Amino acid sequence: MGTTVNPVIFDQSPPRKAFSWKSRFSVLCGWITAYLLIRTGWIYSYDDWNALPNFKLKADVLVTKDLCTQAPPLTPHTHAELYKNLSGLYESAAFKLTAVQALGGAVQVPTESYDGMAPVGQDARWEVFGKLHEYLLAEFPLVHSSLKVTKVNTYGIVYHWQGTDKSLKPILLAAHQDVVPVDPLTVKDWVHPPYSGYYDGTYVWGRGSVDDKASLVAILVALETLLASGFVPERSIVVAFGFDEESSGTEGAGRLFDELVSQYGKDSFAFLVDEGAGFGEFYGGLFAIPAIGEKGYLDVKVEVSSPGGHSSVPPRHTSIGILASMLVKYESEPYPAVLNRATPFYQTLTCIGAYAQDISEDLRKLILASIDSDVALTELSNILVQDPLTEAQVGTTQAIDLINGGVKTNALPESAWAIINHRIAVDSSVKATMERSIDLLLPLASKFNLSVTAFGENITDASVPSYGSLTLTDAFDGQLEPAPITPTDSASYRLLSGTILATHKASSAYKNLGREMVIAPGMMTGNTDTKFYWDITRNIYRYGHSDATAAYAGIHTINEAYKASALVEQVRFFTTLILNADEAPEL
User: Residues comprising the binding site for Zn(2+)?
Assistant: 176, 211, 246, 274, 556
- Determine which one of 178, 224, 251, 387 is catalytic: 178
* Whole-angstrom distance, CA of residue 222 vs CA of residue 537: 23
Concatenated DSSP letters for 399-417?
Answer: EEEEEEE-S-TTB--SEEE
Give helix 361-370 / helix 344-355 axis angle, nearest 10°. Answer: 140
- Pairwise CA distance, residues 121 & 258, whole Å: 19
Query: How many C-beta atoms lie closer than 10 Å to residue 165's C-beta?
Result: 11
**Maximum CA pair distance of the chain?**
86
- 75 vs 498: CA distance, rounded Å: 8
Residue 189 annotated to the active site: no
Give the other-Cβ count within 10 Å of 403's Cβ: 15
CA distance 294 to 292: 7
DSSP type of residue 250: T
Q: What single-letter amino acid sits at 148?
A: K
Angle, helices 128-139/93-107, rounded to nearest 10 degrees: 160
Are the CB atoms for 421 and 437 separated by under 8 Å?
Answer: no
Residues making up the annotated binding site are 176, 211, 246, 274, 556
Phi (first) and psi of residue 179, to 5 degrees: -135, 160
Any catalytic annotation for residue 178? yes
Query: Which of these is catalytic: 112, 139, 245, 569?
Result: 245
Contacts of 523 (CB under 8 A, 6+ apart): 29, 30, 31, 291, 292, 293, 294, 295, 343, 344, 345, 348, 393, 426
Which helix (H) or strand (E) element contains residue 561? strand 561-563
Cis peptide before 212 (omega within 30 of 0): yes
The continuous run of DSSP H or E covering 222 comes out as helix 213-228
Q: Which residues are catalytic?
A: 178, 245
